[in-house]
Amino acid sequence: MKKTILSIALGVAFLFGAQNVQAQETAIDAAASNIHWKGEKFTGKYHEGNISLKSGSFTLDNGTVTGGNFIVDMASMTCTDLEGGSAERLIGHLSSDDFFGVATHPEAKLVFTKVTAKGNGVYAVSGDFTIKGITNEASFDLTVIGNEAKAKVNIDRSKHNVRYGSNSFFDNLGDKAIDNNFELDVTLKI
């Protein structure tokens, strides 16, 4: 009887131990990763720049992505299409409460909620984005090749209370209207 109980206990321990070995957190090299942002007016004019990943990780199960969790440092935002005072004024405005309210909301977050393998290292991902303290879902494709993961993500800023220049909240903006969607071109180093 003692041998049977011991055998069952060892079997259960092995089973749970094997499951824990398969699913593992793999850290992202935040310093080597890049997030490029782009925001556009309806006239076709745009601004773009970079923002830094503070931390991140993928959950892997036998080498397959099953989850992810990422934090972006909102204070790291830069502008690459302007120089000097013009770039500083744009970043100051984007950091203000008109846009991302960086003093109050210094981080943005993404947590994967669903990951489906499509084949050849491509995954369909749904995730909860928290920007300016408001969480909404967005979906995108993630491609993982070797130690690099890439994604293009479109986010509707109006869903995160980023209202400045939005036709969704203000009338008669004309050529001053800014598209609600902004694009993130993400390269993560694993």
User: What does the domain layout of the chain look like in residue ranges?
Assistant: 24-189
**pTM, 2 dp:** 0.81
Q: Would you state the pLDDT for residue 167?
A: 58
Which residues make beta-bridge pairs with 123?
117, 142
Mean pLDDT (the chain, rounded):
85
pLDDT cut 70: percent of the chain above it: 79
- Report CA 115 to chain centroid distance, whole Å: 14
pLDDT band of residue 164 (cuts 50, 70, 90) is low
Strands 134-145 and 23-27: unpaired
Q: What is the DSSP letter of 174?
A: G
CA geometry: angle 149, 152, 154, nearest 5 deg: 145
Kindly tell me the burial class for residue 118, based on how many C-beta atoms sit within 10 Å of its own C-beta (0-12, 13-18, 19 or more): exposed
- Please tell me the CATH code under which domain 24-189 is placed: 2.40.128.110
Q: 104-142 pLDDT, tens per residue?
A: 999 999 999 999 999 999 999 999 999 999 999 999 999
Work out the average pLDDT over 174-189.
Answer: 81
Q: Taking the CB of residue 174, how many other CB atoms lie within 10 A of it?
A: 9
Tokens of 167: 């036709």
Residue 5: CB atoms within 10 A of its CB come to 9
Q: How confident is the model at residue 72 (pLDDT cuts 50, 70, 90)?
A: very high
